[in-house]
A and B are shown apart, each in its own frame.
Chain A
Amino acid sequence: MSKYFPLILFILFIGWYLSYSATRLDRLHHRVETSWANLDGLLQRRAAIAIEIARSDISDPASAMLLTFAAHQARDASFRDRSQAEMGLTGALGILIESADDISGPIEKDLILELTDLTAKIKMAIAMHVEAVSRTHMVRKKWFIRVFRLAGNAPEPVTYEFEGDVL
C-alpha cells in the first residue's frame, strides 16, 4: 500500500494543479469580457459626445458632417471593423479640436473637458483590455492547458488593434 502512496499524492497534486489552472484561465476569460464591456461602454459614450459636439457651435457644417458620419460608423461597426472605425472617429475629433482653439461658451467648454476626461479613461481601458487579452493568450498556449483542454469552449479572445497613443 505504502509504495503507491507517492503515486496517489502525485495524482492528487496533478488534479489540484489542473483545477487551479482551469480557475486561473476562467478568471482571465472573465477579465477579458469585463474589460471589453468597460471599453465598449466608454467608446459608446465618446461617440455620443462626438455627435453632441457635431451639433454644437464648435464645429462648422463640414466638420459636423464628418464627425457625425464617423461617430455613427463607430457605433454601427461590427467587432472586426470596430478599431478602424474608432480610429476614424479619433482622427475626426483630433482635427476639430486642434483647429478650434478659441472655444467659447460654457457648454462647449464642458463638452471638450468631458472628451479629454473620457480620452484618458479610454486609454486606461485599452491598456487593461490588451493586458487581459495577451495574458489569456499566453496562458492558453501552455501545453498542458491545450492537452487537457482546460479552456473548454471559451472562444479565443481577439486582440483589439487599437493604437492606444494616437488618441
Chain B
Amino acid sequence: MPLSKKKIGIVCPYGWDTPGGVQSHVGDLAEYLIRQGHHVSVLAPAIDDEKLPDYVTSAGRPISIPYNGAVARILFGPIAFSRVRQWIQAGDFDVLHLHEPAIPSISLLACWAAEGPMVGTFHAAAKRQKVSFAVVPFLEPVIEKLTARIAVSEAARETLREHLETDAIVVPNGIYASRYSDAHVDPRWTGNTLGFMGRFEEKRKGLDILIAALPTIISQIPDLRIFVAGPGDSKEVLKDIDPYLRDRFSFLGRISESEKADFLASVGLYIAPNTGGESFGIILAEALAAGASVIASDIPAFDSLLGHGDFGTLFTSEDPADLARQVIALLQDEPGRRAIAERGKIFAQNFDWEVVAEKIYDVYEMAMVGGNGVSLLSENRAWNRFLGRQQ
C-alpha cells in the first residue's frame, strides 16, 4: 500500500490497562500500520507505565467517572493537556487519528491543541441527551477541525448526525478474520448448544431475556445446553433461575482469544440478546468469521451488521417469545442454519484488518492532501510566547 512511510499519531481516550472495544481497536490498528512500515505512536492514559507496548505513550493515570451509563476511565485536566501538547510537538506527525473526540478526554484536548490533517473516529451510539444542547456550542468549533470523520457503524453515524449535525464515512471495526476461520471445533461445545459471551451481569447484555425464553425452547429441544463465557459472578445469575434449568448452564468464565475462536466455531447457535448500548457488535463479526450461526436482537447495530438478517437471524429485541420461536426454528433446520452461516463467513471477510485498515489509511491519505503535517495550533503558540513558555 504505502509508497512513503508516514508518521501517524493515534489518541486513545480510555485507559490502556482496562480491556475495551476502543482500546483493542486502537491497538490492532497501530500494530497493523507498524507492520506496514509506518511510524505509529499511540497516546493513551495508563495506570502502569511499565507494561505498555513500545508504541504507546502514557498521558497519565486515568480517572474513573460515570459517563453514558457506564464507568469510563478517561483523563483530562491541565497536566494531561500539557502532555498532549508535548506529544504532538515531539511526534512531528503527518496525520493525527483521534478516537472518540466528542467526549471529555485527551482526544478532545488533542483536537483542541493541534492543527493540520486530523481524522476522528466516533465509536459510540447513544440517544440524544438533553445535556448535549448545552455542550454542542463548545464542541462544534473543535470537532469541526477534524479533516475527516469516521463512524464505526450506521448507528454511530446517526448519533453523530443527531448530536453534532455532521456526517461521517462509515468504516467498520476490524477483526483478524483468519484467527477465527482457522478455529477448531471443540466437541465439548457442539450439538444443540447455545453460546453467549460478555459481561452477563450487565442488564443490557440481555442474558435474562434468554433465560425467559428457555422454558419454551426446552419443551421443543430437550437436550439443549447453554454455555456462557465472560467475567462475572455465575452464582448471582443461577440463584434466580428455576432449578430444573440450572444444570443446563455451564459458566466458562473469562476465556482466552484462541479459546474464544474455538468456542464461536463450535456452538450450535451463537446468541446476542443485547437490549441496546451497542454501537457495532464486534463479537458478531467474530462469530460470523468463525462460521457460527448467529441469532441477535434487532437493535440497529446488529441489524446492519447482520445485513438485515442475511448473515444471521434477528429477533424482536426484548421479546423472549420471539427469541424462543426463532431458536427452535433454527435448531430444527440444520441445512438452513448452515447456509446462512456460510454466507456470513464470507461476508465477515469485510471486517478483516486487511480491508478495514486499508480503508482507514485511504481516509488518512485524503486528510493529508494539501496538509504540511500536524502542528500545535498557532493561537496556542501566540499565547505561549506571550506567557513566556518554552516551545
Contacts and interface: CB of A to CB of B under 8 A. Distances in A.
Contact of B371 (A34, A41, A124, A130): A34
A128 B147 contact: yes
Contact of B148 (A28, A128, A130, A135): A128
Nearest to B378: A23
Interface in A96-118: none
A127 B169 contact: yes
A44 B144 CA distance: 28
B141 A128 contact: no
A135 B366 contact: no
Contacts of A24: 141, 144
Interface string A112-148: 0000000011001101101100010000000000000
Interface in B116-152: 141, 144-145, 147-149
A121 B362 contact: yes
A12 interface: no
A121 B366 contact: yes
In this complex, which of A24, A124, A125 has the most chain B Cβ atoms within 10 angstroms of its Cβ?
A124
A34 B144 CA distance: 15
Nearest to A28: B144
A160 B306 CA distance: 34
B166 interface: yes
Nearest to B149: A131
A163 to B, nearest CB: 15
Given A34-B371, A135-B166, A124 B366 contact: yes
A128 B366 contact: yes
B92 interface: no
A139 to B, nearest CB: 8
A45 interface: no
A128 B168 CA distance: 8
B interface, by DSSP: helix, strand, loop or mixed? mixed
B369 interface: yes
B379 interface: yes
In this complex, which of A23, A24, A31, A128 has the most chain B Cβ atoms within 10 angstroms of its Cβ?
A128
B167 interface: yes
A121 B369 CA distance: 13
Given A28-B144, A34-B370, A124 B166 contact: no
B363 interface: yes
B147 A37 contact: no
Contacts of B166: 131, 135
A48 B188 CA distance: 58
A20 interface: yes
In this complex, which of B147, B359, B371 has the most chain A Cβ atoms within 10 angstroms of its Cβ?
B147
A154 B148 CA distance: 22
A63 interface: no
A34 B167 contact: no
Given A20-B379, A27-B145, A128-B148, A34 B369 contact: yes
In this complex, which of B166, B369, B379 has the most chain A Cβ atoms within 10 angstroms of its Cβ?
B369
B199 to A, nearest CB: 35
A135 B145 CA distance: 11
A28 B359 CA distance: 25
Given A121-B366, A124-B366, A131 B167 contact: yes
Interface of B: 115, 141, 144-145, 147-149, 166-169, 359, 362-363, 366, 369-371, 378-379
27 contacts: A20-B141, A23-B379, A31-B147, A33-B370, A34-B371, A37-B369, A38-B366, A38-B369, A38-B370, A41-B369, A120-B359, A120-B362, A121-B362, A121-B366, A124-B148, A124-B362, A124-B363, A124-B366, A127-B168, A127-B169, A128-B169, A128-B366, A130-B167, A131-B149, A131-B166, A135-B144, A135-B166
Given A34-B369, A127-B169, 11 more contacts: A27-B145, A28-B144, A31-B147, A33-B370, A37-B370, A124-B169, A125-B366, A127-B167, A131-B149, A131-B166, A135-B166
Q: Which 9 A-B pairs have the closest CB atoms?
A: A34-B370, A38-B369, A24-B141, A124-B169, A128-B148, A131-B167, A127-B169, A38-B366, A135-B144
